[in-house]
Structure 1
């Protein structure tokens, strides 16, 4: 895979022989943040990296990362069966730092830190109390009390770890109330993937009127807004437009509802359902489009989390149509890299897309503005420096005995 060649020029060649053990019971081994960004950054800096994750192989080494596979369970209720395996495998690594990525592993992470005397880093990917409020598999009456309870538990545990890593401003502020060492690592894109693509192409080569959405398909991420807006473009403006949906649906029920809706509206010829693809395959689909779409809906969680795909569109030079929410406006507001619209108004989304497709020169300028912003600032290579700084600080603290 070898996708971080430029990091060798970024990090200091310290030749660190320290060992890092990364743990996850939820994410696949090649998760973008876990494998492609954090693990690869550490490998390029000279660390020995072991990743314990659900995998279809017991053990393999990929791009310098030693993956220790766990059984993969289709039902989430079976995941606790892996907890003992994770703890046992992690202890055998005798690592210098333990870095774990799932809130369900909070007790294991704390136990590892206490038993081994080594630093443990809790990587909080998002605002989990808010995420619980929209989990479809949790009965509605139970979501709020579970969210409040988890809020207390997560903060209580978080205060005990050597460090907490976060990906958003609001989550950073939350943990800074209880932890002295919180590092914000934005999920910015890897330039090595998105600027050149797998085939080296640097310009969009797709259909004339094509829009792309990358990420989970769900109601709160705007799947119905997208279908409504595309219908408006087709039926009201007589536009021959194609929407490419790259990502899995949030449930089998939603998948059936989406397909039924597409058939009922007779727009199947305008919708491409790609499904989930690997991180390195994403540019293949974004580069075929002329507009990137972020139709997030105004729920509590989306007032705190930053959509990663927005930056991936920017890295590919796509102008963006996005919901006007504070975390999105924070980055798009001054860049002139796209259009912000009312999150709940399909007509507004449709008109913004129509404008960009009808004004190619202006759209190209917006795309170039976004690409430049990623090149200069909003890229993982810059965030990787902060990750390495955290590890150096943790290891120095251990060596000094505090």
Structure 2
């Protein structure tokens, strides 16, 4: 019997979103996949052979698109809907990521001659409505009005699911799929024991992902004041130019400029070597919104650190405590207090035997429970049931 086909939509470059990449790989083991995204920034990820990737629209960078007029953005969106609808004619289920793709999927279903199941995966919540002078404002209102058309809405944390229901009066079905890495991708380092010794003797604190002064970055840098001179910070990810200038000046003022190293973002497939070489990872967010307060299961980087056997420092907040309090490889710190961050670093790096045990525990936890294969399985079974059900219904 020929494979059924799943249509996956994201109004961005799918190569930049690890949970999307992970879902595509796992679904492609059982279904053919039509993956539709925008033609923005370079195509960098190699997908399985039964995944047909369509990058719609004229090629531009994200920054170039942000500068377009509302009229240009609207016409691009309309064209995206029209092209996606043609590509999704023969699929058995549509899986849409975030509200731009979800509204595209909704319009596509209106034009379909038969009912097709729809999964909506919400990565990040928008607590406030954007103005109607922006495309985001119109699409966001469409998402809130039509969310009930989805068979399931997926969130990376239970707290976000509950908040979404309250925000939109959503009465439909939700499911939680944490943003864990894929075990088949983060395979164990072949020289792990020797790597731990190297890490311990050349201590490096790693922050990967979006680099922003809003996310306890200055507090992290200031923590170097209280730490051994050999300890450095490595920042890798996208940063706004204004924030880069603030970091540079702050590091100079604190006399730690030589110990703070910034690297531009790299493709997801080039990130693991950076993570393996670090000594410990940090995921520090202030209480600035529902997304930052619910990173206990929604943060990719916490579990990418664990996949590479890194101890992790996270914000001392209820959501993080709820999910990680019993993990021996995790330490908690006040994201507003440099001394608290420094104390957590010292605790991790104070003794090699302790450090080694934490590294091994992190890797074991990833292999046994904090991997995408385990997290995605309940949703995979649901998708199987929906696809089979829709096939029977449409005969």
Give the TM interval when normalised to the shorter protein. 0.7 to 0.9
Check conservation: 2:235, 2:261, Cα contact below 8 A.
yes
Check conservation: 1:225, 1:346, Cα contact below 8 A.
yes
Per-residue CA distance 1:270-323 (angstroms, 9 max, x = gap):
122112112222221121122111121122322233322111111211111221
Per-residue CA distance 1:83-128 (angstroms, 9 max, x = gap):
1232122122212222221313443221112221322222100222
Q: Does 1:240 align with 2:196?
A: no
Q: Note the 1:14-25 alignment, pairs <5 A.
A: 17-25=3-11
Q: Does 1:363 align with 2:358?
A: no
Instruction: Give the structure-2-normalised TM-score.
Output: 0.83
Q: Note the 1:224-373 alignment, pairs <5 A.
A: 224-233=218-227, 238-249=228-239, 251-301=240-290, 302-305=292-295, 306-373=298-365
> Which 4+ residue blocks in structure 1 deviate beyond 6 angstroms?
57-61, 146-152
- Which residue number corresponds to residue 38 of structure 1? 23
Aligned pair count reads 369
Q: Does 1:89 align with 2:77?
A: no
Per-residue CA distance 1:36-81 (angstroms, 9 max, x = gap):
x011111112323333333457999732222212333423253444
Match of 1:72 among 60, 65, 70: 60
Check conservation: 1:209, 1:242, Cα contact below 8 A.
yes
Q: Does 1:385 align with 2:383?
A: no
Check conservation: 2:103, 2:139, Cα contact below 8 A.
no
Q: How far apart are 1:243 and its partner, in Å?
A: 0.8
Check conservation: 1:26, 1:102, Cα contact below 8 A.
no
Could you say if the C-alpha distance between residues 383 and 245 of structure 1 is closer, same or farther in structure 2, counting changes exceeding 3 Å? same
Per-residue CA distance 1:165-203 (angstroms, 9 max, x = gap):
211111222456624332221111112233335xx4434
2: CA distance, partners of 1:231 / 1:28: 40
- Which residue number corresponds to residue 3 of structure 1? none
Check conservation: 1:50, 1:68, Cα contact below 8 A.
yes
2: CA distance, partners of 1:220 / 1:318: 24
2: CA distance, partners of 1:104 / 1:350: 41
Alpha-carbon RMSD across the aligned residues, in angstroms, is: 3.0
Per-residue CA distance 1:196-218 (angstroms, 9 max, x = gap):
35xx4434444522111111111
Check conservation: 2:222, 2:254, Cα contact below 8 A.
no
Could you say if the C-alpha distance between residues 66 and 212 of structure 1 is closer, same or farther in structure 2, counting changes exceeding 3 Å? same
Per-residue CA distance 1:105-153 (angstroms, 9 max, x = gap):
44322111222132222210022217x7xxxxx8xxx7xxx99999876
Could you say if the C-alpha distance between residues 92 and 150 of structure 1 is closer, same or farther in structure 2, counting changes exceeding 3 Å? closer
Could you say if the C-alpha distance between residues 119 and 72 of structure 1 is closer, same or farther in structure 2, counting changes exceeding 3 Å? farther
1: CA distance, partners of 2:256 / 2:266: 23
Per-residue CA distance 1:319-354 (angstroms, 9 max, x = gap):
112211222212220122121122211111012112
